[in-house]
Structure 1
Amino acid sequence: MIKYLILNKRPFFWVIFHLLLGISATVSPFIVIGWFYFVTFSSLAQVVKKRETPFVLVSLLFYLTSFELLSRMARTSPFIPYELGKYLLAAGMIWAIFQFKTIGKSGMIMLICLVPSLFIDASGLVQRSDIIFNVLGAVNVALVCWFFYKQKFSTEELGNVLRMMVYPILGVLSYTFIKTPDFSEVEFVLGANLDLSGGFGSNQVSTLFGLGTLLVFILLVNKWEFSGNFYVDVAILFALSFQGLLTFSRGGMIGTALGVLTILYFLRQASSREKRKYNLPKIGKFVIPTILIGILAFVVVDQITNGLLSLRYQGETMGTIQGSKVKTLNTISTGRFDIFLGDVSLWFEHFFLGVGAGASRFLRETMNGTIAHVELSRLLAEHGVLGFVYFVILCYLGIKLFKSHPNPLIRGVLMALYIVAVYTTFHAAMRTYVTPALLGLSLLSIKTSPGALKKARFRKRKMSFRSPAVMKLKPIEPVLSEDGTSNSSLKEK
């Protein structure tokens, strides 16, 4: 099945299919469970087959991982694990490292930095589940740095992986839309709203919708096909932005803005020679309309909520408006700043080795008992100096991205993925698959020919397994042949 999803012969069908999959989840979890395992087992033959490139494995892994939130909403546990992203990414990365014999020194060092804290518990209250909950996300980030660093993908393969990640997000979109009550029945407040996030954690829903918005924007700007129709893609962009803003959880949508601004920065800095050489998109033709869609979504939601959305993004709370509280960095960050300060204080007290994995919430003076929302402070408090080294390596990898690709647009995309990945750790730690997935993709070595983008055209093309196009909006090399052989191996033959 992964082959048919990658080849994308009927793009509009797959969009509708995943929207219907989300609607079915509002009635029963078994359709989602059935589809998840059908794709998994029907694609194993493609994954275990010896290949020159890990493209197929990565596509399947990120597609299945993106079902994390939809499976939670559909209550598929224990058939699909509650923290699907963590377990699946860890298993997939370990398999990939051995299968493709990769040696990423930075990732290896980061992984080693996490080991000592597993044997330390300054609180005496940490359970095994606490260790898994807090450390597995950081382990996954180390594993993707180990595996993905300088892995060679084509621009078309990158576009395909991003498209595969968006599909399950569409299921979450339709699920949330069905579960959202009539606006007249909702009491809007200056805080995250469970009623408008499908009855689920608004921070995670906002993060996922923000991710979907950014990925669709990237697909549009690069003229990589998604639904097969530009206007449908724009409608999806609006719907993701609209539902993400409705959650009143700011983290995910601010991340989208950061990613979009990063891409615009690199496009703006491109020289006239680079614009001609890589046929870079004109800002007025694609970028401005998509930005206006986001602004329109914000205006509509602000009107629906009687201006509360604007106040929410200004950092206001009911307390600050009524005068019972003073607006501070802590109120603006919904308590995250106090958590950060408490963790830093613990680091000064346990400077070298930290308090141990999962122990900071039991020892923190501020926001005691609250799980860490800022990964940097958690690394410092629980892993000590080694946690600091871990984060420095992560920053170093990002600095190298500034000269990662000659094409300003591709360089901007990689940088945007990295920035959103790191930014997410400052409001949701590393509890979701978003950070390791985006970070891994940002570390890829993207192959493209100077004139590749000049071939892009918005026209309908006939699709077949041997067609030179996988995505209608852009003629590209075949990803898979009928027998499942990867494009790189075909070229070599």
Structure 2
Amino acid sequence: MIAICFYFLYRIVSNSNRKDEVLLAAGYITGFEVLSRMTGGAISYEFSKYAVIGFVLIGMFYKGFKLTSLPYFIYILLLIPGIVFSAINLSYEAKVGNAIGFNLSGPVCLGIAALYCYDRKIPIARLQTILLAVLLPIVSITVYLFLYSPSIRDVLTGTASNFAASGGFGPNQVSTVLGLGAFILFTRVFTIKNRLFNIVDIALLGLIGYRALITFSRGGVLTAIACAVLFLIALYLKSGVKQKVNLLPKIIVMASVIIGVWVVSSFATMGLIENRYANEDARGREKGDVGTGRAALFETELEAFKEAPFTGIGVGKSKEYREKRTNIEAASHNEISRLLSEHGLFGILALLILLITPLAFGLQHRSNIYLYAFLCFWFFTINHSAMRIAAPAFIYALSLLKIDYASKKKTALHRK
């Protein structure tokens, strides 16, 4: 991880960030984060988020940020009162610094990255390079899972999320980044006109999709599907008549690949994957809680919000509150309910900024065909995995970019 940071730091400084190398660095760190945790290569649990923040701040040193990004500056300020009430309300045994770092590193990472990206114009080729930087470590995760995870049939114990099939790491986070990788590969098939690249991307999509499915964690897979649908809609609306006709064969191919991956996964898991997505146990009996315990966590955080609707109970306090009320010692899986419980009215205002600003930006500037798909990834991910990893924060920020397609179409002018 240290070597990666120094490499990108050298590229940024040597080129004065002329081609937004900070986003390339942040993208690679975002994709690498889960792999570093899986293999024990992470310096600390939150280091990747801090690295993304650091790189983006360096980018601001070279290029600054636009005054129109003021809403995200206000958003960051709205997080500060929660820190104050955290220091007041957390128990004496609690490590205040760790609690604040764990719960606020993700939201702050989002705010800083959004400040840099908002209304920043970049060529489409540069955005595709940034997405490729996110994708490459995810491909490495897939290779790691095939090499070091046991056969899925040897570790099947039911329809719950499977740690063994996820490389011994959290299935939720592995499924999230694999779903992100599958989505990026899906978009590359429609945006990159190179048959060899398309064949490689489709093959990788099949492999990554298979590994995502057999984690038995549904969040990342369903999020990827929703993002792909939104991307296709945006691409269809932006395309001309001839381009719309050319989309159909690729859609048929992609649908065939997805169906094929599902069939192979069903065979490999002896049909248990079908039970999982039907919310059934191994015997086909319907499970009571489709959210696998997340509903209880959500309810306790709503109760905390009702007790302190204006100030919130403080950053990191919801875990203590939940343990005291229900004897359940678990961190939040939902960033929205956490914002409400720990930040109160300030959390509501922060959430409104995060929702309204990109939607208003999208109505004003319709150049970014990824906008609604990226927002979908952020919103769905924070609802099942909070902001434990940097991916939702960084991908949200990319939705705020203005994409320049003209530079791709320019041709050289030859003089006689």
What's the TM-score, normalizing by structure 1? 0.76
- Say whether the 8 Å CA contact 1:151–1:445 is kept in structure 2: yes
Shift of 1:306: 1.9
- Gapped runs of 5+ residues in structure 1? 1-32, 456-467, 469-475, 477-493
Identify the residue that residue 415 of structure 1 maps to in structure 2. 372
Q: Does 1:146 align with 2:118?
A: no
- Say whether the 8 Å CA contact 2:22–2:58 is kept in structure 1: no
Could you tell which deviates more after superposition, 82-91 or 295-304? 82-91
Distance 2:65 2:151 in 1: 52
| Distance change (3 Å), C-alpha of 1:303 and 1:52 | closer
TM-superposition CA deviations, 1:63-117 (whole Å, max 9, x none): 133211111122124xx33333211112122222233221421110110010011
Identify the residue that residue 95 of structure 1 maps to in structure 2. 58
Q: Does 1:211 align with 2:180?
A: yes
TM-superposition CA deviations, 1:108-155 (whole Å, max 9, x none): 011001001112133425422111101111111111221110011111
Shift of 1:309: 0.8
TM-superposition CA deviations, 1:397-430 (whole Å, max 9, x none): 23225435545xx42x221011111210001101
2:280 aligns with one of 307, 316, 335 = 316
* Aligned pairs (5 A) from 1:16-31: none
Aligned length: 404
TM-superposition CA deviations, 1:353-397 (whole Å, max 9, x none): 101000001113357321000000000000110001010011102
Identify the residue that residue 79 of structure 2 maps to in structure 1. 114
Q: Identity percentage over the alignment?
A: 28
Paired residue type of 1:89: V
- Say whether the 8 Å CA contact 2:183–2:224 is kept in structure 1: yes
Identify the residue that residue 226 of structure 2 maps to in structure 1. 258
1:345 aligns with one of 303, 308, 317 = 303
Point out 4+ residue stretches in structure 1 off by more than 4 angstroms.
49-54, 404-407
* Aligned pairs (5 A) from 1:180-219: 180-219=149-188
Paired residue type of 2:373: A
Paired residue type of 1:377: S
Identify the residue that residue 425 of structure 1 maps to in structure 2. 382
Paired residue type of 2:51: L
- Say whether the 8 Å CA contact 1:59–1:164 is kept in structure 2: yes
Identify the residue that residue 401 of structure 2 maps to in structure 1. 444
**Alpha carbon RMSD of aligned pairs, Å?**
2.5
TM-superposition CA deviations, 1:435-490 (whole Å, max 9, x none): 111111110011122983xx9xxxxxxxxxxxx8xxxxxxx9xxxxxxxxxxxxxx
| Distance change (3 Å), C-alpha of 1:401 and 1:238 | farther
Shift of 1:169: 0.7
Shift of 1:327: 4.0
What's the TM-score, normalizing by structure 2? 0.90
Distance 1:295 1:198 in 2: 25
Could you tell which deviates more after superposition, 157-166 or 125-134? 125-134
- Gapped runs of 5+ residues in structure 2? none
Distance 2:170 2:236 in 1: 37
- Say whether the 8 Å CA contact 1:126–1:358 is kept in structure 2: no
In terms of fraction of residues, the more helix-rich structure is 2
| Distance change (3 Å), C-alpha of 1:224 and 1:342 | farther
Shift of 1:299: 1.6
Distance 1:367 1:241 in 2: 37
| Distance change (3 Å), C-alpha of 1:366 and 1:396 | farther
Distance 2:30 2:51 in 1: 7
| Distance change (3 Å), C-alpha of 1:76 and 1:115 | same
Q: Does 1:238 align with 2:196?
A: no
Q: Does 1:399 align with 2:363?
A: no
2:35 aligns with one of 59, 70, 76 = 70
| Distance change (3 Å), C-alpha of 1:339 and 1:230 | same
Could you tell which deviates more after superposition, 181-190 or 370-379? 181-190
Distance 1:374 1:212 in 2: 22
| Distance change (3 Å), C-alpha of 1:370 and 1:43 | closer
Paired residue type of 1:105: L
